[in-house]
Structure 1
Amino acid sequence: MTTNVMDTSKNSSVVPMAIVAVLFFILGFATWLNGSLMPYLSQI
């Protein structure tokens, strides 16, 4: 019975960690995209 409690607490921490990781990479990609597009957009 205690192993089930441990398994659910371990699984419940995986989802928030995955959400934080995905948001981190999305923010990094948006920052990189903004920096690389800035020379092209400044010509407009």
Structure 2
Amino acid sequence: MSRLISDRTGQPVEKIEKDTDWDYFMSSQEALEYGIIDKIITRT
């Protein structure tokens, strides 16, 4: 799983494993910068 996330986000596998080892929360902006999401959808 870590390898798939690493391939998709461009983050090193070691960073993925560290970040998913404990409770790790991020804002939508942080998720965008991390590479987990492609864009932020907001209500208008």
Q: Which TM-score applies when normalising by structure 2? A: 0.25
Bigger RCO (CA 8 Å, 6+ sep)? 2
User: Who wins on radius of gyration, i.e. which is larger?
Assistant: 1
Q: Which TM-score applies when normalising by structure 1? A: 0.25
